[in-house]
Chain A
Amino acid sequence: MTQSHRIDAKLGGGQIDRTKTLRFTFDGLPYQGHPGDTLASALLANGVRLMGRSFKYHRPRGPLSAGSEEPNALVELRTGARQEPNTRATVVELFDGLTANSQNRWPSLRFDAMGINDKLSAFFAAGFYYKTFMWPKSFWEKLYEPIIRRAAGLGSVTREEDPDEYDKGFLHCDLLVIGAGPAGLMAALTAGRAGKRVILADEDFRMGGRLNAETYAVGDVPGADWAAASVAELATMPNVRLMTRTTVMGAFDHGIYGAVERVADHLPTPAKGKPRQSLWRIYSGRAILAAGATERPIAFENNDRPGILLAGALRAYANRWGVKVGERVAIFTNNDDGLRSALDLQAKGVDVVAVIDSRQGGSLLPGIRHLQGAEVIDTSGKLGLASIAVRQANGRSENIAIDALGVSGGWNPNVNIHSHHRSRPVYDPGIAAFIPGSDGPPGLLVAGAAAGQMSTHAALKTGRDAAVAALELSRSPDLPEAEDMPIRITPLWHVAHGKGRAWIDQQNDVTVKDVKLAHQENFTSVEHLKRYTTLGMATDQGKTGNVIGLAVMAELTGRSIPETGTTIYRPPYTPVALGALAGRSRGREFRPFRLTPSHHWAREQGAVFVEVGNWLRTQWIPKPGETEWRQSVDREVLATRKSVGICDVTTLGKIDIQGTDAGAFLDRVYANTFSTLPVGKCRYGLMLREDGIVFDDGTTARMGEHEYVMTTTTANAVTVFRHLEFCRQCLWPEMDVQLISTTEAWAQFSVAGPNARKLLEKIVDQDISDAAFPYMGAGNITVCGGLRARLFRISFSGELAYEIAVPTRYGDALLREMLARGAEYDPVVYGTEALGVMRVEKGHVAGGELNGQSTALNMGLGRMVSKKKDSIGMVLSQREGLTDENGYRLVGVKPVDPNGKLTAGSHFLEKGAAPVAANDGGWLTSKVYSPHLGHDIALGYLKAGDKKIGQRMRIVNLLSGLDTEVEIVSPHMFDPEGERLRG
């Protein structure tokens, strides 16, 4: 079986390389094709017409088209991890070793059990789901939905991870030309020769557009040769970028276009390290849409059999690929372009047995049986076309045995991208089709067939003129000679005959009957028509069917087509792989990591890391023999409180604030006062949002008269900086304040515990005795013999504690040096879990309490909000709803039974109260196990909590079945007098 339907090379070779043979399989059977083939052209060359089953009725289907508009010939391409469903055989470029399988059939394409749906079609009309699966309600989840899910969908996806890579990128040009047919090539030549930066993108692997499928001349040479010469000329221009296999899939705001380049889809696998596809964002203030036109069929009974194609597709397969779809062919047309198809096929040696022309009058084609005023009323054939029934002008019917039928109902301009900004196409009765409306994306011009300019001459001319207009060029190049035939069409949307089904949208199995039903049930607007019948949905988005559907609706309602209107289009123009949209942001590369200065040391120690934003922080560091995380965390806490612990706190945001108004500025952005802070001291600051809710907190130090260093929480570093810039630029532009982030410039470590000072004294060059460096002191120091550093005496753990900072490059060395020099104190390096335990023991607020819903009053910090000065959030924090005496207050919680369990998120209930929302007293925000106290402890927001200290309540969690009796205590559960931190 070797390419039985390939046309003899002597009659015109087509644009395939017959000297090379490519092997491929379809449904397990081996076939051969040539470079330049698509999967569809190669299968047709081998006499294979049956390529798939339809979505709803599982009707046998073959290709309708020869391009990206294809509704039927959807196949699963490749196998294993690269298996991809719903690829259109009409655009899949053939490569050696290609494997494809038909889909939506079981057990085989020739015998599909779900074909029973076709016999039951009366039950599956439009609106079927809405009507049938409504009740009983309980059936939906258990019965209907699982059945529908099993039957629905097209093709199947691989369950394996996509092994390929996808790139994203950004391109800039003066002019983007979308489509490389005669209009696009002429536009690109015009702009390119004028020295402009041009991107010419075409979805095909061969530029030339329709010229590749035609026989007529441009200038002195065949159109395809002119296209090839034009591409060759453009390729020599350094200012022109030619992008084949690239679909411009959307027009976005302000001259941004999205494009998918299929870099390696024509190869068995991408080359190592190379992307399979690239998603380009193209910035171009000017663009020309030269996307051509798509032929549409005519609806008649059983018009969906394999072997029935668009007439222009039959012509394209013959001219471009040297393939005759059938030996005995007829054409059914309502326009002159159908006649051209008949003549081209005849020239390729195909037996054109009849042309069924729905129009009356005009001259007859020579040498062909040309039936005017005739219509195709039905077809027959089991798995492919065998014959058609023709009703002639005199009313007599005739059966004609053929194996391929070309249908031409006229051509629809590809207006798709022009309506991405909601521009409505307008109906042009001259070509019986919609053309672009007036209010398209700014900067986007339309040329050629996409603009309804259907002749080759008109395409070349409008392409050139669009480039001249878009770029305001002074010179307009001459055009080559080309055909300028008029469009002669008498609209025929569907053949009125009989009671059988006549397909409009072959992909979704929408027939004329379905449109009638929609009309009967008053779903008459085009948008309702689409939703009710599914017309125009799924992978082809109705490229061949939409206009027929609305034309039929227009007939039924008695309105004109312009009155009926059309749906508009959204991106993408053709389906885009999710992998292309994700690009490289997947798996480990979903987002970049931020590594702390101690990361390399911690990795050596076998630390467990936790993602905090993009940061990887040490969560805990297991020692040999520790099998459970709590063992490590308990040890880290106990060792810190017993002697000294070190924690990398570089991740906290650090903002350098300078200027003569720096202090006054801080007074505005913090609820409490900083202008009075002495140089060399630091203070805890509470930052509110303007609505009075707590935004962030941290310690800010005054390093000089006009110089402060603010710290923020790790999570809010970016948003606080943004907020400060807002305050500085928008609210108080006259203040003398300068801001710069220094988060990453300094490696900062917390050194905490009774021996913290003794350890640091071995590192710091200066005197840091309590007298010289008291509690809340801050200053510039040097370490290890003169390295500049900063020291802050602050504590999150409740211990005697410091934070010490050195330039980041020395962070790793400082940590190792502290551990080495301080070895006699047996220092421990602790992670975020131990940090969390110690802060909960001390009742310090953090993530769970800084939840974006809580006020200073809720946190027990109400007195920090100074009313003696204006600050962000001060006024609205006094709102009635936020100052309720019995509102939520931060409390500590411990189980009455030391073995009692607590979980964060559990709710407070009075003893004996039913666990219903009305009795809810608040919730636990943070919970840890305190190794000192020997039991769980927690922080929580409790209504009137400050008045309930000492009382007993219950902690209830209905999800985990927890119900624990607890005592409400002060949040300061460890060393409440704070004796340790001043030590």
Chain B
Amino acid sequence: MIIHHPILGPRDAQEFVYLGDASLIDRPDGMTAGVEAFHDYLYQRTNPAGEHQELWYHEQGDRSWLVVTRNTVTHEITKVELAREVARARGRTK
């Protein structure tokens, strides 16, 4: 597979480490959310047959975490973003 890194262009997927669903960005605040919320955050997945947003880490590259939009049926990758920017856009702060 080839992942089109937003900064570095096309890179072989072998350089990356896969983590999972990009909803892992949406971590609840541990001081306000309880076990239930964390359980859902950590374990509940939609697991779609189709377009899926997922986290890939460019370990043998520039160490950027990326949010890759990939069709799980065709392997087509339609969008690649820096996870940091996605996290900021989702309102994550300190």
Contact = CB atoms under 8 A, between A and B. Distances in A.
A and B directly contacting (CB within 8 A) = yes
Interface of A: 252-256, 283, 442, 661, 664, 690-691, 718, 722, 725-726, 729-735, 869-871, 874-876, 878-879
Contacts of A874: 30
Contacts of A879: 35, 39
Most buried by B among A664, A733, A874, A878: A733
A690 B33 CA distance: 14
Contact of B59 (A442, A691, A722): A722
A692 to B, nearest CB: 9
A733 B84 contact: yes
A116 B77 CA distance: 57
7 contacts: A725-B63, A729-B65, A731-B25, A869-B31, A871-B30, A874-B30, A879-B39
Contacts of A733: 84-85, 87-88, 92
Interface string B36-47: 001100100000
B55 interface: yes
A878 B35 contact: yes
Nearest to B30: A870
Interface in B31-82: 31, 33-35, 38-39, 42, 55, 57, 59, 63-65, 75-77, 82
A686 to B, nearest CB: 16
Contacts of A730: 24-25, 55, 65, 83-84, 87, 92
A731 B30 contact: no
A690 B93 CA distance: 19
A875 B87 contact: no
- Chain B at the A interface: SS class: mixed
A439 to B, nearest CB: 9
Contacts of B84: 729-730, 733
A876 B42 CA distance: 10
B1 interface: yes
A254 B30 contact: no
B57 A254 contact: no
Given A254-B77, A690-B42, A870-B30, A725 B93 contact: no
Contact of B75 (A254, A690, A725, A731): A254
**9 closest Cβ contacts across the A-B interface?**
A870-B30, A254-B2, A729-B84, A253-B1, A875-B38, A729-B65, A733-B87, A733-B84, A734-B93
Given A734-B93, A878-B35, A729 B83 contact: yes
Given A253-B1, A722-B57, A729 B87 contact: yes
Most buried by A among B2, B88, B93: B2
Contacts of A661: 94
A664 B94 CA distance: 9
Contacts of B13: 253
A494 B72 CA distance: 42
Given A730-B55, A731-B27, A876 B39 contact: yes
Nearest to B43: A691
Given A256-B2, A664-B94, A725 B65 contact: yes
- Chain A at the B interface: SS class: loop
A583 to B, nearest CB: 14
Given A661-B94, A730-B55, A730-B84, 5 more contacts: A253-B2, A726-B65, A730-B65, A734-B88, A876-B38
B33 A875 contact: yes
Contacts of B93: 732, 734
Contacts of A726: 19, 55, 57, 65
A256 B35 CA distance: 44
B11 to A, nearest CB: 11
A254 B77 CA distance: 9
B35 to A, nearest CB: 6
A731 B31 contact: no
A367 to B, nearest CB: 56
A568 to B, nearest CB: 16
Nearest to B65: A729
B42 A691 contact: yes
B91 to A, nearest CB: 10
A252 B35 CA distance: 42
Contacts of B12: 256, 283
Nearest to B37: A875
Contacts of B85: 733
A396 B19 CA distance: 73
Contacts of A876: 35, 38-39, 42
A149 B51 CA distance: 46
A732 B33 CA distance: 17
A734 B93 CA distance: 5
A251 B31 CA distance: 50
Contacts of B57: 722, 725-726
A255 B2 contact: yes
A256 B1 CA distance: 7
Contacts of A878: 35
B42 to A, nearest CB: 6
Contacts of B87: 729-731, 733
Interface string B1-18: 110000000001100010
Contacts of A732: 92-94
A254 B35 contact: no
Nearest to A170: B12
A734 B59 contact: no
A954 B27 CA distance: 45
A179 B44 CA distance: 48
Contacts of A253: 1-2, 13, 75
A252 B1 CA distance: 7
A49 to B, nearest CB: 47
Given A254-B77, A734-B92, A875 B34 contact: yes
Contacts of B17: 722
A60 to B, nearest CB: 47
Given A664-B94, A733-B92, A870 B31 contact: yes
B33 to A, nearest CB: 7
Nearest to B42: A690
A880 to B, nearest CB: 8
A726 B34 CA distance: 22
Contacts of A254: 1-2, 75, 77
